[in-house]
Structure 1
Amino acid sequence: MATNDYSARHLSVLEGLEAVRKRPGMYIGSTDARGLMHCLWEIIDNSVDEALGGFGTDIEVLLHSDESVEVRDTARGIPVDIEPKTGLSGVEVVFTKLHAGGKFGSGSYTSSGGLHGVGASVVNALSERLDVEVDRDGKTWAMSFHRGEPGVFADKGEPSPSSPFTPFESRSELRVVGKVAKGVTGTRIRYWADRQIFGVKTEFRVDDLVGRARQTAFLVPGLTIGITDARVDAPERTEFLYEGGISEFADYLAPDSAVTDTWRLTGTGSFTETVPVLDAGGAMVPTEVERDCEVDIALRWGTGYDTVFKSFVNIIATPKGGSHQAGFDQGLMKFFRQQVEQNARRLKVSATEKLEKDDLLAGLTGVLTVRLPEPQFEGQTKEVLGTPAVRGIVAKVLADGLASRFSSTKRDDKTQAALLLDKVVSEMKSRISARAHKETQRRKNALETSSLPSKLVDCRSTDVATTELFIVEGDSALGTARRARDSEHQALLPIRGKILNVQKASISDMLSNQECASIIQVIGAGSGRSFDIGAARYGKVIIMSDADVDGAHIRTLLLTLFFRYMRPMIEAGRVFAAVPPLHRVIVMNPGSKPNETIYTYSDQELHTVLAGLKKAGKRWQEPPQRYKGLGEMDADQLASTTMDRTHRLLRRVRLDDAERAADVFEMLMGNDVAPRKEFIVSSSDQLSRERIDA
């Protein structure tokens, strides 16, 4: 029977790993099947990093029937000698110490995907049992761990996480369990995911494993990756080996017939960055180091319109992009705009017609890989590259490679370059034609009438940088806001209650809705893909709704409209929510001294203020006024608390993660009822009754 007791000697180890167990999502993203797969790939990526360094060409992954998984490689093997700072073996350091490993400097790995030094130790912390065997120095060394703590399992027969476990007391032991031939090296890691963390129904998804293994084999030419699923009655082994690298990968991904061959563009660049480095005394010293970045790109254009693009840093996928993908977009756009400008007469392109990113991506299949030491990722899940200097290097390599293709004297290269320019210009002209048609149709709609809505109370200034549009809930609040506003810079547009839920409605329904049409018309920059933020008539749009449930609903509906049809306004940080006060406390001063007015913005703040006044021996008018709506304020109160730029409080609406925000808006406002019901039921215990206006 496994025990939860542990010795004082390992307190520091478990304190570090206990943080992983308490907040696993911080390290692996989630505790569902995605997190389970992420743990497995932390282990596999360590073996892949060895292969990238030229050590080992075979990796085997076995899914055992007892829910454990095993990863074997033929690389150098984890070091088994004693690490001088900790006095522990290299194996124990790797599996028990966060931010420990051979990937922090450039001595062991010139480039690797696992640079944070937490992968193996995180997997160990989240495993009920982990066994590691290392072939090195003519011997097979072994060590076992229970939820991060080293010790010995008393197995009777097959290894099991439920076997009695005895933690090491005075010192850990890296056992010698066998001998191997001289020169034979490698590592075998087998672990059982902790069901206290992942749940009993969470399983390894073999389809995801096969897809990722195939992808990795494309990215590391000459590496053999085998997968065996022993959980089924008739286990089958799947093996991947590709010698052509990302050129084969691009051909595999391409969904259409080719307009161009698969072009391989490679190059390197160097940059300097300041990083903390350990000196001889063990102190971290800021040091300027020279970095080399290798860029490898495979591109092909096809006859279709779909775009398939994948980017990687040291073979780690970066689905959300980063500086390398930004450099790719920059280089692609700059090069093709120059080419179209130089060939404008042949292509019949006017000076006003400009290529956009979507014109170039139509029919593109691309794979971008960069390799550099110690890349800066955003988070342990490594989905976004943050190293700034990579952007310029990728842009230059791409531009130089394309220039070489387009200036080539070979007949095939000339033909393909001409066909590609014709394709992107055709895409551009189709887009411009479609937009013109759409604008023509829209002019027939009320949006394009020559006069602005009569209910708009406009401001006098035309300086976009200083003007503000307040979207006000109801005519009663409009009357007060009209007297409270700064008429030089602040415009008002009233709406009648709750507008159309545009997440459910079609575009035609949205355009025919009077409230939605008025908002789009007043802002004056169009809607949807044709939205031009440069044409917006106001620098800020401020949603001013009541501080109650209905006001929050109206604000959500308005934000849905902006999110779906005027998203650049949110991305530019030009949409705000006004924060009117909830309470007014009138402090009664003795004698002829005028009373003092204090505004509070939450129940907690009100209680704090009242407690402070009571402690100071001051009296206030009972009860404190609770504002249920903006119409309850007079003009002076509304101006000083909500509209006056020197005193007001605004909440900027941000869009940090567009894809997640889109999912949330779809769940809360879309047509599919089931996910919304599940969200409401699962979140009901988090709702305070005090937040409900009844």
Structure 2
Amino acid sequence: MATSKRSEYGESSIKVLKGLEPVKQRPGMYTLTDNPLHIIQEVIDNSSDEVLAGGASRIEVTLHKDGSVTVTDDGRGIPVGIHKEEGVPAVQLVFTQLHAGGKFEKDSGGAYSFAGGLHGVGVSVTNALSTRLEVTVWREGKEHRIVFADGDVIEPLTSQKSPRPKSATGTRVHVWPDPKYFDSPNIPVEQLTRLLRSKAVLMPGCEVVFINEKNDSTQTWKFEGGLREYLLSEMTAEPMIPPFESSGYATDESMGFAVGEGASWVVAWQEEGVPVRESYVNLIPTPAGGTHESGLREGLYLAMKAFIEAHGLMQKSVKLLTEDVFARASAILSAKVLDPQFQGQTKERLNNRDALRLVSNFVRTQFEFWLNGHVEEGKKLAELVIKQAQARQNSAKKVTKRKGSSVAVLPGKLTDCESEDISKNELFLVEGDSAGGSAKKGRDKDFQAILPLRGKVLNTWEVDRDRIFANNEIHDISVAIGVDPHGPEDDPDLSELRYGKICIMADADVDGSHIQVLLLTLFFRHFPALIRKGHVFVARPPLFRMDVPKTGRKPARTIYCLDERELAVERKKLEKDKVNMDKVTVSRFKGLGEMSEQQLWETTLNPETRRLMPVTFGELSLSESREMFDMLMGRSEAAMRRAWMENNGDQVEVDI
């Protein structure tokens, strides 16, 4: 008898990826694979962290003719002694273990209080994706050398007397990226040059040198003017008023932040040209922005709004928004965060919720002081900002005029938003009246509308289009969004659409998931164009809240976790930071209605800190998606559903 595929699943089927194998198997999970620049940046970031910690004042990067790169700094040198627990040299651990490094220790005795390479997978990824990597360390009067190939040690650590003076410490890393892991083997010189120049800007007094052997050129940067000098050199138009440059850092824990956390920034407004915007966290570029950038925008907006109101400059018909203040602004922001949480290992976006409040508080205070000391410049800026708001409002009105003249009577339980800008407006379909009440209080009434849903929504998979309005909940949803039901082949009129984002917001438990499925069934079956055009989203509220006590330099804080898996990850991080887990309180939200309006805003409504998942058709074709919905939602498919659950039940995380 032939052996079934199921019986072949045994102990030998379980593969354990050890050491750097996970990186080689899935490099895209650990770094950008367009070209090798990011793995070189990991090495540069380590040298930058040495500058940040006060251990280095010079970084030299050499691009060799064969495409390899050498990064040298005059820092303290990577430790080379034998690690007590692992029994191998520390420098070997740094380059061969994904979670090894000197940046996990966050108290005042840590080697790096503020560092960018906090995942502990940086240079080990560089090593894994390189055909060869040589490390030379000058430390304690000796020169130490170790060599790797494809992530493995091929020349163990050797030590000899250093030809340099004992005080001349440092690290040199020579990397040969493996071209098979990248779309292009060539390092983009322009991007590398820009990165090195920005490092020099963010580290005043540090000399950064770039030697390009391919064209025999050398460039050296050492900025004394800091952020201001850099921004003005990058801007394509003259600023209309003097740039606003300042900084703010926590000096004690009274503000709820660790000592040293804060930011420095420079902002310049221009009437024409393309604005220049760059942000960094602990010297790491964050091209996708994040919560620190949101804090800068919010601080500028709050201070500008207060100035305009204090001087009676606002016109009655104008509603000022954050984007109006920042639209014509060029800005460089450099934030220091003790424990930054980035979106993915590529570190392109900062996710820390507290960073928004951290930067906003300092920016608002400093900008209010600046405006009061530069009243005429402030009034000139206010004029630009108000014009920007008027232009935005006029643009929104033009969209409204294109709509039909007939107006449906909106549902009485709908709490609508004030804005008429469809691209900005959001409708939250909220499970339950109690959660709806918290959402109404916690929302931003300018652009967020709330429609509470009572009870389970009807399963509409097998309900005809002309009969779905018999259900009050579905009737209210359709009227609120302004779009009539339609089929997958139809091209419906979306000119009456009232919200750019329609967000399903249900509890993070099994019942909430059921309501999500019923609503997704409704949109897929009767409003597919909204999914196709990218208007449907699922809000992801947290299931757990962790209250963490003060630890070392880190003040008491609250961490929200989406599910059990994220809770486990956060627990491991806290244990690594030597937090007393007996004093950590973990509570589980029974539902959205249990959250306060502030908690609901921070975790689920605030565009800067929430988790909002777009709904798309995914990899399945339209016909395959229909078959799946037939099996899952069809009344006559119970037998097929049961078979499917028996085959796939082991993939489900049970929530009891």
The residue aligned with 1:265 is 246
Q: Does 1:428 align with 2:389?
A: yes
Q: Deviations over 1:442-472 (max 9, x none)?
A: 2xxxx322255xxx9x999878423899999
| Partner SS, residue 418 of structure 1 | helix
**Distance of 1:317 and 1:585 partners within structure 2:** 46
| Partner SS, residue 65 of structure 2 | coil
Is the Cα contact below 8 Å between 1:470 and 1:544 reproduced in 2?
no
Residue identity opposite 2:200 in structure 1: A
What TM-score comes out, normalization by structure 2 length? 0.66
The residue aligned with 2:637 is 599
The residue aligned with 2:622 is none
Is the Cα contact below 8 Å between 2:144 and 2:157 reproduced in 1?
no
Is the Cα contact below 8 Å between 2:263 and 2:359 reproduced in 1?
yes
| Partner SS, residue 386 of structure 1 | coil
**Distance of 1:295 and 1:544 partners within structure 2:** 46
Change (3 A) 1:18 1:435: closer
Q: Does 1:419 align with 2:380?
A: yes
**Distance of 2:28 and 2:358 partners within structure 1:** 33
**Distance of 1:256 and 1:183 partners within structure 2:** 46
Q: Deviations over 1:81-113 (max 9, x none)?
A: 222222222221221222222212242122111
Residue in structure 2 matching 1:582, options 630, 642, 652: 630
Q: Structure 1 stretches of 5 or more lacking a match?
A: 1-12, 153-171, 274-287, 501-514, 534-538, 587-596, 613-694
Change (3 A) 1:405 1:135: same
| Partner SS, residue 130 of structure 1 | strand
The residue aligned with 2:303 is 335
The residue aligned with 1:191 is 175
CA shift for structure 1 position 128:
1.4
Q: Deviations over 1:280-302 (max 9, x none)?
A: xxxxxxxx994530310111111
Is the Cα contact below 8 Å between 1:46 and 1:114 reproduced in 2?
yes
Change (3 A) 1:255 1:384: same
The residue aligned with 2:285 is 317
**Distance of 2:61 and 2:615 partners within structure 1:** 50
**Distance of 1:68 and 1:333 partners within structure 2:** 46
The residue aligned with 2:338 is 373
**Distance of 1:100 and 1:73 partners within structure 2:** 20
**Distance of 2:523 and 2:266 partners within structure 1:** 55
Corresponding pairs, count: 501
Is the Cα contact below 8 Å between 2:131 and 2:150 reproduced in 1?
yes
Is the Cα contact below 8 Å between 2:486 and 2:528 reproduced in 1?
no
Is the Cα contact below 8 Å between 2:297 and 2:326 reproduced in 1?
no
**Distance of 2:114 and 2:531 partners within structure 1:** 44
Change (3 A) 1:300 1:91: same
| Partner SS, residue 277 of structure 2 | strand
Q: Deviations over 1:97-144 (max 9, x none)?
A: 222222122421221111222212121122111111112222221111
The residue aligned with 2:452 is 465
Q: Deviations over 1:164-186 (max 9, x none)?
A: xxxxxxxx443437532221111
**Distance of 1:576 and 1:532 partners within structure 2:** 13
Residue in structure 2 matching 1:357, options 288, 306, 322: 322
Is the Cα contact below 8 Å between 1:268 and 1:295 reproduced in 2?
yes
Q: Deviations over 1:565-602 (max 9, x none)?
A: 9x99999889899988525999xxxxxxxxxx75259x
Is the Cα contact below 8 Å between 2:76 and 2:139 reproduced in 1?
yes
Q: Does 1:395 align with 2:382?
A: no
Q: Does 1:121 align with 2:105?
A: no
**Distance of 1:546 and 1:419 partners within structure 2:** 48
Residue identity opposite 1:179 in structure 2: P
Q: Does 1:180 align with 2:161?
A: no
The residue aligned with 2:115 is 112
Change (3 A) 1:112 1:491: closer
| Partner SS, residue 250 of structure 2 | strand
Output aligned runs, 1:285-684, within 5 Å.
290-304=258-272, 306-344=274-312, 347=313, 349-350=315-316, 352-408=317-373, 413-439=374-400, 441-442=401-402, 447-450=403-406, 464-466=451-453, 477-479=464-466, 481=468, 493-495=484-486, 498-500=489-491, 515-517=492-494, 520-521=495-496, 525=498, 557-561=529-533, 563=535, 581-583=629-631, 599-600=637-638, 605=641, 607-608=643-644
The residue aligned with 1:136 is 139
Residue identity opposite 1:214 in structure 2: R
Change (3 A) 1:526 1:379: closer
Change (3 A) 1:116 1:291: farther
Seq. identity, %: 27
Q: Does 1:213 align with 2:203?
A: no
**Distance of 1:546 and 1:263 partners within structure 2:** 48
Output aligned runs, 1:275-286, within 5 Å.
none
The residue aligned with 2:151 is 148
Change (3 A) 1:391 1:544: closer
**Distance of 1:404 and 1:312 partners within structure 2:** 24
Residue in structure 1 matching 2:187, options 193, 204, 223: 204
CA shift for structure 1 position 366:
0.8
Change (3 A) 1:83 1:417: same
Q: Structure 2 stretches of 5 or more lacking a match?
A: 1-15, 416-450, 505-514, 540-604, 618-624, 649-656
User: Which of structures 1 and 2 has the bigger CA Rg?
Assistant: 1
